[in-house]
Structure 1
């Protein structure tokens, strides 16, 4: 299968020799367009590093928290079956695609990055699924049965997002590799999962332990 031209071009702008490869996810029947692991084996030039810092291509990685959430959904399909689901801060769309595979009635992937939304659509097509996309939750008044969110608390300034998400859905499932003891009265930790970002970034073991909360 040929990588989506617009995504391949965007990645090449950041890293000239980088390529997208359709990669199967562990313990899953999903595949995603991710940066080829071979492209992560070399040192980046100062110019490449600067470009990566200015416009990180989050969409071409399957981050540990997103993969953990997807694997939990696959093991607990009743949590999403027949529900209207929003994947907030979707990145590659892995959590939303897992929900679609598990029988969600409708999946909307939401991300501020236009490239991420293109990646979500390309990954949905690669897995023969139908999803919708949304670029700004604030611009919509729609409510959902369930909101999925992975790694949205990388900055503690984002904690108010939890109240926004809870106001827009009956239930929220939150996966995070950095906050394992979330002090929020309406969220309860329901699982701890050990997962690795793909391609493997050789992250410290602490970032491979993902906490899953329900609110």
Structure 2
């Protein structure tokens, strides 16, 4: 099986000999085109480090929160079954794909990055599911039953997004390992679960703990 050429070229421009491989995510039946773990077991040159920081290829990793959300939807399909779902900041598309597999009526993978949307398309094909795609969350109508979000908050400066999620959907399901313990009147913590980014980046232990929050529009 050959990785999508556009994605492979984009990754190669960042990390030289890095390769995409079709990897099965731990604890799931999902497969994604991800950077080969062997490529991570080396020292990066200063130029590679600069490029990674400027244009991080986040779409070729399955981040811990995305993995937690995908597992949650597989174990609790009632959250998405028969519903219209939008995956905000979809990245690799892992949560969107999990929602589609769990029986969602419609799933829109939404991301500003064209490469992320290409990755979502390739990964949807790899898992034999159909998604729709959007590059602009705010251009979408307020018609969704559920907005799903993983690894988007990053830091507390992004907490205003929590209100924006509910501007396009009646409910929101947010998984995050960076800002785990925020206080918001509409959001309640459902669970605190554990996972690691795949391939494993050997991140600090604190980033392996993912909080899952749910909100309903008032």
TM range (shorter): over 0.9
**2:133 is matched with which residue?**
133
The separation in 2 between residues aligned to 1:196 and 1:37, in whole angstroms, is 13
Helix, strand or coil at the partner of 2:190: strand
**1:158 is matched with which residue?**
158
**2:63 is matched with which residue?**
63
Q: When the two structures are superposed, what TM-score results if normalisation uses the length of structure 1? A: 0.98
Deviation digits for residues 141-183 of structure 1 (CA, Å, limit 9, x no counterpart): 2420000001111032211111111121111000010222220
Alignment of 1:23-172 (within 5 A): 23-172=23-172
The separation in 2 between residues aligned to 1:199 and 1:188, in whole angstroms, is 30
Deviation digits for residues 39-74 of structure 1 (CA, Å, limit 9, x no counterpart): 000100000000001100000000000000000111
The separation in 2 between residues aligned to 1:127 and 1:178, in whole angstroms, is 28
Helix, strand or coil at the partner of 1:141: coil
**1:13 is matched with which residue?**
13
The separation in 1 between residues aligned to 2:212 and 2:93, in whole angstroms, is 17
**1:186 is matched with which residue?**
186
CA contact (8 A) 2:87 2:148 kept: yes
CA contact (8 A) 2:35 2:60 kept: yes
The separation in 1 between residues aligned to 2:57 and 2:125, in whole angstroms, is 20
Helix, strand or coil at the partner of 2:44: coil
Helix, strand or coil at the partner of 1:174: strand
Helix, strand or coil at the partner of 2:199: coil
The separation in 2 between residues aligned to 1:140 and 1:78, in whole angstroms, is 24
Aligned residues: 215
Moved more, 160-169 or 138-147: 138-147
The separation in 1 between residues aligned to 2:124 and 2:141, in whole angstroms, is 25
Q: CA RMSD in A?
A: 0.8
1:140 CA displacement: 2.3
